[in-house]
Structure 1
């Protein structure tokens, strides 16, 4: 089911956490920040919206690094109900797509809840002070990859953040598959 996250809440402080990565190490979210900012992306392995743009996500993460902006991706989907999103499959997905950034597993979904993540992909762009300046789409692609000349919304916004510390006033929300939340066990 498609979901659309809310608009950017400018100045909202990023939340740090330590999560296991597909590389076998545990990573702090804040340790992934560059000197000019950080993108925290909620993605997963099975979502057609993510699959359509994963090469563009990689391209933009590499490009943003040259502007001093770090990048980290987190999967929070319920792997019991969606086995394609398991940690082992995250490792395969990262390898197949040559992810140049840490891909972390939020098994208890506490980080996704703290961020208010709504869909995959869902992008949070922070300035050097770890204050939210961008919450929007990668570009106008949907379940199918868009034309090569699409405006690079995330990339352009984060270059602006790197230069000026502030994101654009107008932002287009991302759209994607809803986060697959765990259903709590029935309690009497």
Structure 2
């Protein structure tokens, strides 16, 4: 079922984390922060919304990194219910698509909960002070990639954040598969 996150809560603080990556390293927020801001993305391997735009995500992340934006992707899905999202498959996805950013596994789902992540993809764009400035979509694509000339909402917003410290007032929420939460114990 498609999920839509809430609108941007401007100024909400970035949340720290310590999570294992597909490279075998444990990553923290300090490891990924950029001098001009930070983009935290919640994605996964199986979601058709993510798979439709994974190459655009990688393209935009690389271009944002060149602008001084730190980028990280986190998968928090329940891998018992969705084994295709397991860490070993995350490694394959990151290698196949040439991720230039760490891809981390949130097995406890505590980081996803701290961010109030709702869906995949869910994008959180912060300025250099760690204040939320963007919680919107990548572009107007849905389960299928839209035309190549779509406005690059995420890229344009984070470019603005890198340059001014402020995100756009008008934002369109991302849409994707709901995060696959573990059953409460």
Q: Which residue of 2 aligns with 1:82?
A: 82
Q: Which residue of 1 aligns with 2:175?
A: 175
Equivalent-residue separation in structure 2 for 1:10 and 1:69 (angstroms) = 18
Instruction: Tell me how far 1:29 sits from its aligned partner.
Output: 2.3
Q: Which runs of 4+ in 1 moved over 6 A?
A: none
Q: Which residue of 2 aligns with 1:30?
A: 30
Q: Which residue of 1 aligns with 2:70?
A: 70
Equivalent-residue separation in structure 2 for 1:100 and 1:34 (angstroms) = 14
- Number of residue pairs matched by the alignment: 185
Instruction: Tell me how far 1:78 sits from its aligned partner.
Output: 0.1
Instruction: Tell me how far 1:47 sits from its aligned partner.
Output: 0.2
Of 2-11 and 92-101, the range deviating more from structure 2? 92-101
Instruction: Tell me how far 1:70 sits from its aligned partner.
Output: 1.0
Taking structure 1 as the reference length, the TM-score comes to: 0.97
Q: Which residue of 1 aligns with 2:101?
A: 101
| Structure 2 residue runs without a partner (length 5+) | none
Taking structure 2 as the reference length, the TM-score comes to: 0.99
Equivalent-residue separation in structure 2 for 1:86 and 1:67 (angstroms) = 31
Alignment of 1:95-174 (within 5 A): 95-174=95-174
Aligned partner of residue 136 in structure 1, secondary structure: coil
